[in-house]
Amino acid sequence: EPEVTQTPSHQVTQMGQEVILRCVPISNHLYFYWYRQILGQKVEFLVSFYNNEISEKSEIFDDQFSVERPDGSNFTLKIRSTKLEDSAMYFCASSEGFDGLSSHTDTQYFGPGTRLTVL
Amino acid sequence: DAKTTQPPSMDCAEGRAANLPCNHSTISGNEYVYWYRQIHSQGPQYIIHGLKNNETNEMASLIITEDRKSSTLILPHATLRDTAVYYCIVGQNSGNTPLVFGKGTRLSVIA
């Protein structure tokens, strides 16, 4: 069964450094998402991406964050200058998109996550 | 904020049915009910979703009340591996809709 993959599984970085988290969405999916979960807290939406553009973003997704689809398979989240409070699990998700014919097409499927630790 | 209310925790004996309730009294006519679960700190796993009819798949059944203000996720024969946090989420079935997670229900399956 196709699945979303993420690398690395764990990233440790120093405060102020740039990190890039990578995701490979399910191959025929058109919508891509990033969520994060600070330890012990809820899963929070960061950003959605469609047709090479950001579709929607939350208040958390400020200027230090950016997303990119550099090629036909990868979807990346860059944090420009990491802060201690960026330490969290980051989950990538993808969905096929709604074709108007089926109720099953916009289900979001999540990857296993990248644990980011900022020291 | 999440538009759903779930009990914070439940226990279930292994092999028995686990019935997880969810209230979503402000659900709109075009919003679906989605269920996900999260085991430890793994990525949320999709379970099932529905609009107004009851749904069943290989993992679970979803029972939605006629007024759509509440629903129940049923795991027919819970196993220890079903121990997880279960999230009930309402949202539109259109591309690009962010999922709004609440705190969910922590289900503990007990041997």
Neighbours of A117 (CB within 10 A): 13
Band (B2; pLDDT cuts 50, 70, 90): confident
3-state secondary structure of B9: strand
| Torsional class of B8: left (φ above 0), alpha (ψ -120 to 50), beta (otherwise) | alpha
* H or E element that contains B49: strand B45-50
The CA distance from A14 to A36, in Å, is: 19
Asked if the peptide bond before residue A70 counts as cis, ω within 30 degrees of 0, the response is no
Q: Check whether B99 has a pLDDT greater than 60.
A: yes
The CA distance from B78 to B110, in Å, is: 9
Task: Kindly report the average pLDDT of chain A as a whole number.
Answer: 92
Where does residue A53 rank: exposed (0-12), middle (13-18), buried (19+ CB within 10 A)?
Answer: exposed
Band (B54; pLDDT cuts 50, 70, 90): very high
B53 Cβ under 8 Å from any chain A Cβ = no
**Residue found under tokens 């108007």:** A100
Q: Check whether B1 has a pLDDT greater than 80.
A: no
pLDDT tens for the 119 residues of chain A, in order = 789 999 999 999 999 999 999 999 999 899 999 999 999 999 999 999 999 999 999 999 999 999 999 887 899 999 999 999 999 999 999 998 866 665 555 889 999 999 999 99
One-letter identity of residue A79 = I
3-state secondary structure of A87: coil
Contact at CB, A103 and B32, closer than 8 angstroms: yes
For range B24-29, the mean pLDDT: 92
What residues of chain A have any CB closer than 8 angstroms to a CB in chain B? 4, 30-31, 33, 35, 37, 39, 42-45, 48, 50, 55-56, 58, 89, 91, 93, 95, 97-98, 103, 105-113, 115
Query: Regarding beta strands A114-118 and A10-13, do their DSSP bridges make them parallel or antiparallel, or are they unpaired?
Result: parallel
